[in-house]
């Protein structure tokens, strides 16, 4: 059911049609980014909702927590069936983008790969999102987020010095190195198409993305041979002025007084002007400053320290739990936590869009609510009548 916003403005990607064959991880995140910008996202799932361990059925169960189910439409389609592929080809003729996250070679076997689709639509932008990319010795290996952060070096650098690697608190490979990278690649290819009139293949490797996110440390190794160890880099715990401290109430506070003037303010507010000249001092002095900071921050609650340290510029922030951040006034003011109209639940609180465009504000136009919800609607748009749709449904080609 579409949701009509009052005085809705034209959205940035309005008129762009995306065929999305992804269902977990990076693909839905990318689809959400593009859909929130106005693209018409058509999610293509298998006609049997019990396939893939019931994942499709779960995803379309009115659960607004599942990623990639807002600002999209959904069609059940058997791509292994000749009639199913015929429908896909018809959809592809009018599409701008195709997204898939199968292992390399699967789309070729299904006859829906880039080479096939570009013959039907030379302007198509075809994005393949995989763990390791379309070539190389690992291309056929299965994997998940933690595997890609491992090979890309992120996991090995995350955690305390001398301790075990710590799994990041979100899916960095899936969402940033995969979904966000795919969105950037797709939008870049669409811009290039304006000049050339031709689409192109977008090869997204989540491992590649992690490696680029780690470029600060990798490039310094390549240039100078600098070896960075877990918990011992400038941004991962080596210095007392860029660190996390426990407070009296068992909560935590983050300090990032990197610039000398921020560090000066921090020392002054903590009553230790004598530390100012020792910001980058190693050895016993660094250990002394660490010990003082740890002891001092335990003397007051987290929120008391935030109030004290915000008297001057010190780069301080509370370490939030999820239940705390959803009530933060800054996030509310920015529309990152907001009430969104929902056709069944009335409204739901959800994360908004991180992309703020002055002339094309974020809005939710529709939701995927159930298995095969938009199948008939989408088929009608490409010329299928009710009789033909019923025959295809009986044959199991659509759902």
Q: How far apart are the first and last CA of the chain?
A: 18
| Residue found under tokens 């990152």 | 336
CA distances from 95 to 19, 79, 104, 355, 366 (A): 7, 17, 22, 24, 19
Active-site residue, from 174, 208, 342, 374: 174
Active-site residue, from 48, 83, 144, 278: 144
Q: Tokens in use for 363? A: 């809005």
342 annotated active-site? no
Angle at which helix 206-213 crosses helix 215-224, to 10 degrees, equals: 70
174 annotated active-site? yes
SS (H, E, C) the chain: CCCCCCCCCCCCCCCCEEEECCCCCHHHHHHHHHHHCCCEEEEEECCCCCCHHHHHHHHCCCCCCCCCCECEEEEEECCCCHHHHHHHHHHHHCCCEEEECCCCCHHHHHCCCHHHHHHHCCCCEEEEEECCCCCCCCCCCCCCHHHHHHHCCHHHHCCCCCCCCCCCCCCHHHHHHHHHHHHHHHHHHHHHHHHHCCCCEEEEEHHHHHHHHCHHHHHHHHHHCCCCCCCCCCCCCCCCCEEEEECCCCCEEEEECCCHHHHHHHHHHCCCHHHHHHCCCCHHHHHHHHHHHHHHHCCCCHHHHHHHHCCCCCCEEECCCHHHHCCCHHHHHCCCEEEEEECCCEEEEEECCCCCCCCCCCCCCCECCCCCCCHHHHHHHCCCCHHHHHHHHHCCCEC
Do residues 72 and 42 make contact, with C-beta atoms less than 8 angstroms apart? yes
The residues assigned a catalytic role are 144, 174
């Amino acid at each position: 059911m579409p949701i009509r916003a009052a005085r809705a403005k034209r959205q940035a990607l309005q008129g762009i049609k995306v065929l999305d064959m992804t269902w977990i991880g990076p693909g839905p995140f990318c689809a959400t980014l593009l859909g929130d910008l106005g693209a018409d996202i058509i999610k293509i799932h298998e006609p049997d909702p019990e396939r893939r361990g019931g994942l499709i059925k779960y995803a379309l169960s009115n659960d607004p927590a599942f990623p990639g189910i807002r600002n999209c439409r959904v069609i059940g389609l058997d791509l292994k069936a000749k009639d199913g592929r015929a429908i896909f080809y018809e959809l592809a003729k009018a599409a701008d983008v195709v997204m898939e996250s199968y292992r390399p070679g699967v789309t070729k076997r299904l006859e829906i790969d880039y080479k096939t689709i570009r013959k039907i639509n030379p302007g198509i932008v075809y994005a393949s999102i995989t763990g390791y990319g379309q070539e190389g010795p690992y291309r056929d290996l299965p994997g998940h987020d933690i595997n890609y952060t491992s090979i890309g070096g992120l996991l090995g650098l995350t955690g305390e010095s001398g301790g075990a690697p710590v799994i990041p608190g979100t899916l960095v490979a899936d969402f940033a190195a995969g979904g966000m990278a795919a969105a950037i690649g797709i939008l870049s290819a669409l811009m290039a198409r304006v000049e050339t009139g031709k689409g192109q293949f977008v090869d997204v490797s989540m491992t590649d993305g992690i490696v680029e996110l780690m470029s600060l440390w990798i490039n310094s190794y390549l240039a100078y041979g600098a070896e960075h160890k877990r918990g011992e880099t400038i941004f991962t715990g080596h210095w007392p002025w860029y660190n996390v401290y426990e407070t009296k109430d068992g909560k935590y506070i983050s300090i990032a007084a990197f610039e000398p003037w921020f560090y000066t303010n921090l020392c002054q507010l903590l009553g230790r002007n004598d530390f100012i000249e020792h910001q980058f001092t190693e050895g016993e002095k660094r250990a002394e400053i660490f010990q003082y900071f740890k002891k001092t921050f335990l003397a007051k609650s987290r929120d008391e320290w935030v109030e004290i340290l915000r008297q001057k510029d010190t780069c301080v922030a509370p370490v939030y739990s999820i239940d705390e951040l959803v009530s933060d006034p800054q996030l509310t003011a920015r529309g990152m936590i907001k009430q969104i109209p929902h056709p069944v639940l009335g409204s739901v609180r959800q994360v908004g869009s991180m992309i703020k465009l002055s002339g094309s504000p974020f809005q939710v136009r529709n939701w995927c609510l159930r298995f095969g919800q938009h199948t008939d609607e989408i088929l009608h748009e490409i010329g299928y009548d009710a009789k033909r749709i019923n025959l295809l449904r009986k044959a199991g080609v659509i759902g």
